[in-house]
Structure 1
Amino acid sequence: MTITKHSTSRLQGSNAHQTSQIKERAKRNKERNSARILIVDDEPRASESLRAILQFSGYTIITANGGREAIDALKTDTFDLALLDLNMPDIDGHQVMEFIKSDNHNTSIIVISGESGFDHVASALRKGAKDFICKPYMADELLLSVSNALERQHLTNENGRIQEKLRRSETLHRFLINNSPDLIYMLDQEGRFTFVNNQFEKNLGFDAGELLKQPYTCLIPPDDLEKAKYIFNERRTGDRTTRNTELRLKSKDFDSPNYVDVRSVAIELNSMGIYSTRLNSKKKFVGTYGVARDITERKQSEELIKYQLYHDLLTSLPNRTLFRDRLNIALAQAKRNKKMLAVLYLDMDSFKIINDTLGHHAGDELLQSIAARLKGCLREADTLARVGGDEFNLLLPDVSDRNDITTTANKILKELEKPFHPSLQEVFVTFSIGIAVYPNDGDSKEMLVKNADMAMYQVKNSGKNGFAFFADHMKEQFHKRLDIENGLRRALLNNELRLHYQPKVELKSREIVGAEALVRWQHPDLGLLPPSEFIPIAEESGLIIQVGEWVLRQACKDAFNWMELHTHPVSLSVNLSTQQLESENFTATVLGITSEFNLPRQLLELEITESSIVQNMEKAVENLGILHRYGIRVAVDDFGTGYSSLGYLQSLPLHTLKIDRSFIHAIKSTQDEHSIIEAVIAMAKGLGLDIIAEGVENEDQHHFLHNAGCLMAQGYLYSHPLPEADFRQLFSETI
């Protein structure tokens, strides 16, 4: 079969539409920065004819006179298309095509030749030619063939770029998926794994081969199967999908008898159903896609915080809050079942002497040992709580009679007779125990604890080291305390309370930089009473909130007056009680009083003891955090007494630590070594806190603290607490 120029007759009759297509394609080629075309022919006239036709269409033309020039040009330059003659001396068109193919050139080929035999055409097409045009040719035929070849080349290149992008995208996606900190999975319609990322092996110990084709239930603990059924194997889409739902997954060693503490992993799960997207057909469920975040550490932290809120951090015993909760529950059960229960108030005798003699570290060790021994004397249903420095409360639910309670009390006292060895020192301790029994001694938690406390004080007054049940004759002492309570109520109404101010001085200059407000009671019969005479009763009766509010209001009023008299401002410290801190209107009261007297809030510092903070950490964080945002400062009073954990220092918005006077009293000369004081000062500086020492009574203590880096102090060396007028005069004389 012979192909001649007559085979192009179909092109000679091309219509206007075809011509338009050629022009449009030529335009697209031009817009692609003009395609580069290599014309290869050993006849100059033929090359020039092709150049003239193609340059008119905007192409960039390079000519090669023969095959050797063509190969040289291809080695040094790139071309989109080669128009190639076959019959050339030296190196013919077939050899040029073989070079293009072997050298992986991205160049399309159109053969333009007078050799129109079938063998020539077939050979050219086999070697990669996109078209074969016979000489002589029509211009339209040439342009259309060139346009088609370039269009195909463009589509091929574009497809290659798209494939490369897809490959890179898939590689990146797989990299991100496998290096994600989350567990990512896919399930099929039957709930079997079709994909898991590498995090499954890191978090759970399963590699992909162990999970693929396995049902998702292989990872779900038995207790969570029902819950997982509707969220792990999610079928819903849109807003109804599973979002941030907590679940547990088995680790690889879950069913092993020799498991470690953590056999399951807590996760937070997001999952959604996947459906087919075929056109003109109903969507079909094909599986589930899920992302799970390991929240084990967060859950452990939450459990730790919850534990700390309801437990004493030194002994790990329940604290006052948890004890009162359990007492409430036990009372409800006792009332329902008509049973007895007992509350015991345990207070160590002479703990302060031990603490001062052996040091606070030994005191902490002693309290931990005592807690351990006490727990060994109790039933599983009993509750032992630490409610103060050396005070414990014990709940004995469901007791038959007083003999059961007596047996337990004697057992405790006998167990505590054995020596303790804190810091390798032999120590003997005794306890005073007061007992109140429901229903005879009270039907509320407050009354039972109060009566047990009253009975405990009776033991202390009778020689200590024993126990006593609450009895009616103890009410006489109670009535005496009630007289103080009632008198205190009248004192609030009759304005009998007074404030004295103890100066705070800068150690370097001895200038007064602040004052601590201290309350006194000008009793109409007993004279001026110190706070130790009435503050404990105020706390027991709840009057401490009213007393505290009066102190804060009067102190802010006095501080404002000092501002009016002097341009030099003085900071004001006011002590808070636990009940104030826990009251519902505490923050509103403080902010209201400072606004009432227009006192700059940065001048006010609220002092709270360590025990108050630890007893109700959650409320302390909440209320003190609010006041901190308004600029009010917070100080820890009596720092270092009774609590060995310092975790609250980072939990609360604190500004100042007050070194307890017991540490200061131990300073006998400037040459003494007091590593605890130096450590507290260094720690405060490290945390960005101010530090002040209280109870400074002599020059040696003053100089020691100044040399150790303490900036402020207060104590009898500088001034006793003074009535407001005397303090105002002293302040005026020192500025």
Structure 2
Amino acid sequence: MARDASGNSWKVLMLEDNEDDALLIVNHLETQGCEISWDRVETEKDLRQRIADGGWDVVLSDHTMPLFDGASALRVVRELDPDIPFVFVSGTLGEKAAVAAIKGGAQDFIVKHDLSRLTPAVERAIADQALQKRHRLAQEVLRKLSQAVEQAADSIFITNREGEFEYVNPAFEQLTGYGPASTHGQTPALLKSQDQDPSTYAELWQTVLSKQVYRGTLINRKQSGETFFEEKVITPLVNQDGQITHFVSTGRDITDRVQADEDRTRLNAILEATTDVVAIADAKGKVIYLNKAGHTLLATALNLTDDEPGKARAENALNAAQQLIQGALAQAEKHGVWERESMLENASGQHIYLHQVVMAHRDQSGRIAYYSTIARNISERKQFEAQLQHQATHDLLTGLANRVLLAEQLQTEMNRARQLKHLTAVIFLDMDNFKRVNDGLGHSIGDQLLQQISVRLGRHIRPNDILARYGGDEFVIVASDLTDADTIPGILDKVKRAFEQPVRIAGQDIFVSFSAGVAVYPDDGDSVETLLRNADSAMYQSKAIGGRSFRFYAPAMNERQHRLLALESELHRALERKEFVLHYQPQASLRSGKVCGVEALLRWNHSERGLVAPNDFIPLLEETGLIDDVGLWVLRQACQDMRILAAEHGHAPRVAVNLSARQFSSQRLAEQVAGVLRDTGLPAEQLELEITEQMLISDLESSRATLESLRELGVTVAIDDFGTGYCSLAYLKRLPLHVLKVDRTFVSGLPDDGNDLAIVEAITLLAHKLDLQVVAEGVETAAQLETLRALGCDMVQGYYLSKPVPLSTLAGAATLTV
């Protein structure tokens, strides 16, 4: 008996390669009373497209087709829409394939030669799939709800009627520290804090047991013991019988909000206590709040008296605050924050400086909600900044302009001179022999001298000229508005005459003179750096010829500087290239008339320049630090040369080697000397080390220790250029010395200069009293030699006896007699 399926209206998608089979299936369904709307596809592409169109009630698919197979079709359908019923209608579907189809998600399978089960199978598939879809959707909703609870930012827990925990979400655990394991069998009482009023709990239970929702704020305690504020909503769950079965609690940590409220209260107290002015204005710029400090400061600025009524004082202060903020509103609205310095002037003319920040605050729509300003009284800071600015641009000792201000002022004068087509002169002054004053009388006297010099210079320059202290004992005068360079000597003459009289300090007269160098803009340079450098170069030229004079800059001076720079570069390679050589100048005994010693003098035999003058490279050795290595080389080479001389001629004189200040101050000096003597085999008594007075007095205690170490080695020590230093003679009796070398400046005037004669005689008598030998340097005439012999000098050295000679000719010079 045919089944009545009337009332079924289905939209059927058939995957069938045989149209006749498809028509047969449709015809069968329609004969069963079904209303069918259908379409047929036979490729994966068409299947995907028609499934995407949607609205299908069922998919009927053949299992085996030439262009596509049913198993693949099932996978595509399930991929695109898992809720569409899928039924196989095939003539070739075996049992194994049918089982695989069901496992793959097909609802049923029908054989084509028996369609009697087709209609009920489709009905059942559609009904089952609808039920499955509802179940899946319900599961999805449940999953989402569960996920929402699990991922909720608020803490959630569920208890049974007795209050025992049944569920806690991760947010609860993160907030409190209690997880599912630690809450099992527990009640929310474990969250109780002693800070919570007990009456709150009574109110809570009364509310929820009456089947009402509780809303409130609790102070709870975490597992760590830390307390927190929680905004709570507790809902009782009631079953169909009206009985409470569970409680659901939702909580939110509002500790930050509570603390923010507390902070707001504290902030208000701070605003009233702060010494800064704080004001708030509405969107139109009208001041609606002014703190206590604002009232006080603005009342002071307005000279408001305490006798004035309080309301009037407040209104006047608000009006002043209105003016303070009004001028910055436009900029604050434009930039969000506007920072500036303001000045208030009271009726007495006193200025109050304020550092002010004005901020525009906007609402969520971006419109101005209100303005605020914070202003600090910076009057003291402004005064301090002015002092700092003065200190940054002025010399602390003399109060004169320093290098920074000098550069700015000189640039200004150069710009003006360029516009007016005038000349500007830079005069670089350096005190002659200031080091003697500092070393001999002390730095305090030296500082006082510099202060008095700056005052005198300031009085003897033209009113519009600039005077600066460049550093140390160097001063710079900038003479502007010059139409002719011939006026510069007149300016220098005024400076010279200013110091014709000595400067008296601490009861002592100090005579002052300068070496001066002059560079003129624009002829000698078109930049500040160039002018100062060229004036400095000219000053050194003046100092090189004895000081107490001035020199104008000449380009040749710079040529010499460039040459020295080139020498410095080549000097670094001179030692490794073995370009250094030693020459020896004999020293003769005035008693025996024979050569008894030699002084080793360093020479640089440059591969291209030939012999370089010592004055051109020895200072460079000091500046670059190469003197350490070169000095040790000189010491070793001199000792080796004397051993060679002794081996060839059976005897070698005592050799004197000059030490640099760096060598003498080295703690390894005695160790190095001992090593050289050991390596070369030269007897210690044949080595003499020459040092200057200045090396000794820079650190007497250290000098004593070094000299004691040298004496223990058996080495003699000579004081070179004796008499030229500005120091006490007391060190002569306190230090283990052996020889005094009288400087050539005292020998050159003999025998005619009475002062030189007296000085040499005094040095000789003093040395002999202290059991020291005396060597006179720079002896160039027979008259000088005989005078020195008469004065009791022990030895002489100079061109009269012999110029410095290389080792190869020293043996001949050593046979000379006097």
TM superposition score normalised by structure 2 = 0.37
Which structure has the greater CA radius of gyration? 2
TM superposition score normalised by structure 1 = 0.41
Between the two structures, name the one with larger relative contact order (CA 8 Å, sep ≥ 6).
Answer: 1
